[in-house]
Amino acid sequence: MAEFVWEARGRAGEVRKGTMEAESEAAVLNRLRAQQLNPTRVKKKGAGLNLKLSFGSGVEAKELVKFIRQFATMIDAGLPLVQCLEILSNQEPNKIFQAALKDIKNTVEQGATFSDALRRHPKIFDDLFVNLVQAGEVGGILDSILNRLAVYIEKNVKLARQVRGALAYPSAVIVILVLVMIVLLTFVIPSFETMFAEFGAKDALPKLTKIVIGVSKSFVTYLPVLVVGAVASITAFVYFYRSPSGKRSIHRLMLKLPIIGPVLQKIAVARFTRTLGTLLGSGVPILDALDIVAKTAGNVIVEEGLMFARQKISEGKNMAEPLSEVKVFPGMVVQMIAVGEQTGALDTMLNKIADFYEDEVDVAVAALTSLLEPLLMVVVGGVVGVVLISMYLPIFDLAGKIKTE
């Protein structure tokens, strides 16, 4: 007998914690389910010390989608669950994913459900994944739920790729501009200054040239101070962002930024409606679904709005009314959700909203990219051009004087 620490959710969604003596983790899971509790974490007491560092899950979204598709096909063909896991784990090239699948197979063989076995690997299988699988197990439609989950992950990956693609170009241009300016201010401009001094034209330089040389001298002189200041500023920002109030302030600001703010709002709406529509369509209770959606929102302001709506729904209200109160989602979205509630087809309506806003994100990202490209080129060209012109003006003056002589 060993002692286990457990955490579970009750029927009303409340979190419960405790300890239990049992022969295995599977026995703890079975007892909790018998008490009408939904286990979220079970761990052997005293086994929490782990000095192994890990970053991310080690499993890419495309690997997860491939596993889901193959697993759903096997389940639909009538293969036993354990056999499916055995086949897929043996052919999996990713060693991290392979080890996780073997552990899931062993846990299922010990008597645990598939969803409970998945909960042992939260970095690979998040709450949304586990809850959808659990709904599929209860309803006897695991294969169709898995196919729906694969579609959801593919759409989510596409959305993330669009955002990264939109940010890649401006980020690269800004980094290149900073590197070019460092080289110009540190090496090129001091060389020109030395040349002007050798020609005896240092005192007769144009005003623009003197300003640029002054900036170069200040940059070289105070470079250590600037580096320390930059590191201190980044550190302060990271600490501020990690605090609840700081993160909330930054996320609120991001939604209100011109040009970028509306794009971020569209992304938040697309993610919220797609996730909630997938969960509700798979049979997950609305309170559990909203709890999962809030955690995966990616923005604290959106998360708070969804948790507020969840609280009001638990008090007997509909979803549209509290969502309209938080002022996070566009009025059209709230109205369409209200229509979906009235017609009894909320999951279908949410998926339609998600389709619409994913198309809107496509258009918004393309427009943002087309706007940023010429703007950044003008900025880069302007900054580098001013520096070069300021250095060549004295050379033109010297050439003119030599001609007249």
Same domain, residue pair 19 and 66: no
- 376 occurs within a structural domain: no
Q: What is the 3-state secondary structure (H, E, C) of the chain?
A: CEEEEEEEECCCCCEEEEEEEECCHHHHHHHHHHCCCEEEEEEECCCCCCCCCCCCCCCCHHHHHHHHHHHHHHHHCCCCHHHHHHHHHHHCCCHHHHHHHHHHHHHHHCCCCHHHHHCCCCCCCCHHHHHHHHHHHHHCCHHHHHHHHHHHHHHHHHHHHHHHHHHHHHHHHHHHHHHHHHHHHHHHHHHHHHHHHHCCCCCCCCHHHHHHHHHHHHHHHCHHHHHHHHHHHHHHHHHHHHCHHHHHHHHHHHHHCCCHHHHHHHHHHHHHHHHHHHHHHCCCCHHHHHHHHHHCCCCHHHHHHHHHHHHHHHCCCCCHHHHHHHCCCCHHHHHHHHHHHHHCCHHHHHHHHHHHHHHHHHHHHHHHHHHHHHHHHHHHHHHHHHHHHHHHHHHHHHHHHHHHC
pLDDT score at 51: 33
Greater pLDDT, 25 or 194: 194
In the block, residue with structure tokens 């979220």? 40
Residue ending a domain, choose from 205, 226, 246: 205
Q: Is the pLDDT of residue 237 over 90?
A: yes
pLDDT score at 21: 77
pLDDT tens figures, 9-20? 776 666 778 788
Greater pLDDT, 249 or 401: 249
For the segment 212-228, the average pLDDT, to the nearest whole number, is: 91
Same domain, residue pair 40 and 72: no
Q: Is the pLDDT of residue 139 over 90?
A: no
- 35 occurs within a structural domain: yes
For the segment 240-265, the average pLDDT, to the nearest whole number, is: 88
User: Whose CA is closest to 319, among 306, 331, 328?
Assistant: 306
Same domain, residue pair 190 and 67: yes
Same domain, residue pair 139 and 271: no
Q: Is the pLDDT of residue 55 over 50?
A: no
Residue ending a domain, choose from 164, 190, 205: 205
pLDDT score at 1: 65
Same domain, residue pair 126 and 19: no
- 392 occurs within a structural domain: no
pLDDT band at 54 (very low <50, low <70, confident <90, very high): very low
Q: Is the pLDDT of residue 349 over 50?
A: yes
Q: Is the pLDDT of residue 99 over 80?
A: yes
For the segment 253-262, the average pLDDT, to the nearest whole number, is: 85
Phi, psi for residue 71 in degrees, rounded to 5: -65, -45
Whole domain around residue 39: which residue ranges? 2-44
For the segment 97-120, the average pLDDT, to the nearest whole number, is: 88
For the segment 300-325, the average pLDDT, to the nearest whole number, is: 89
Q: Mean pLDDT score of the chain, rounded to an integer? A: 83
Q: Is the pLDDT of residue 310 over 60?
A: yes
Same domain, residue pair 355 and 269: yes
Same domain, residue pair 70 and 193: yes
Same domain, residue pair 17 and 67: no
Same domain, residue pair 326 and 199: no
Same domain, residue pair 183 and 72: yes
pLDDT score at 327: 81
**Cα(307)–Cα(286) distance, integer angstroms:** 12
> Count of domains in the chain?
3
Neighbours of 274 (CB within 10 A): 23
pLDDT score at 377: 86
Same domain, residue pair 69 and 118: yes
For the segment 152-158, the average pLDDT, to the nearest whole number, is: 82
| CATH at 200 | 1.20.81.30
Sheet hosting strand 2-9, strand order edge to edge: 15-22, 2-9, 38-44
- 379 occurs within a structural domain: no
- 119 occurs within a structural domain: yes
pLDDT score at 150: 85
Range in 172-186, 198-212, 389-403 the model is least confident about: 389-403
**Joined tokens for residue 249:** 């302030």
Residue ending a domain, choose from 175, 205, 235: 205
- 242 occurs within a structural domain: no
Q: Is the pLDDT of residue 43 over 90?
A: no
Radius of gyration, CA atoms only, the chain: 29
- 113 occurs within a structural domain: yes
Same domain, residue pair 299 and 336: yes
- 244 occurs within a structural domain: no
